[in-house]
């Protein structure tokens, strides 16, 4: 248990006072950098709560793609838990594009929509 480190999701996602991907990325990098620098293996489990769906979807998409690229670059296991019932279709599709595996009930499946290192689409037509 001494090796477990907890980060409050609200502190993580709203470290700058709002949902701001560059600030979230900076918080993420600051959190994992000591492990990377000291060649210490680590894993991450995130329980993602969508308290509100008022955040612009393109910002959520931007962050998901940044985190996916970090996972691939640093090569560490990351498990994300999302509540599917509260999620709009756009967000569900986005998560399938940025997460290589999906656990549904007791089955782990490869996401057929996953795009490794997907460039961020800056147009807001999917918002």
pTM summary value? 0.74
| Spatial CB neighbours of 102, under 8 Å, sequence gap ≥ 6 | 96, 108, 109, 110, 111
What stretch of H or E contains 101?
A: strand 101-104
One digit per residue, the tens of pLDDT, for the chain of length 127 reads 888 888 888 888 888 887 788 888 898 889 999 999 999 999 988 887 665 556 677 788 888 888 888 888 888 888 888 877 777 788 888 888 999 998 888 888 899 999 886 655 544 443 3
**Measured between alpha carbons, how far is 99 from 72 in angstroms, rounded to an integer?**
11
């Amino acid at each position: 248990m001494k090796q477990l480190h907890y980060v409050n999701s609200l502190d993580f996602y709203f470290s700058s006072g709002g949902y701001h991907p560059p600030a979230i990325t900076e918080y993420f990098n600051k959190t994992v950098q000591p492990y990377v620098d000291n060649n210490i293996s680590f894993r991450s489990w995130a329980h993602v709560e969508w308290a509100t769906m008022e955040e612009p979807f393109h910002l959520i998409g931007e962050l998901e793609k940044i985190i996916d690229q970090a996972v691939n670059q640093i090569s560490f296991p990351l498990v994300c838990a999302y509540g599917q019932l509260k999620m709009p279709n756009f967000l569900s599709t986005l998560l399938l594009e940025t997460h290589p595996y999906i656990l549904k009930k007791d089955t782990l499946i490869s996401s057929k929509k996953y795009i490794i290192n997907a460039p961020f689409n800056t147009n807001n037509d999917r918002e």
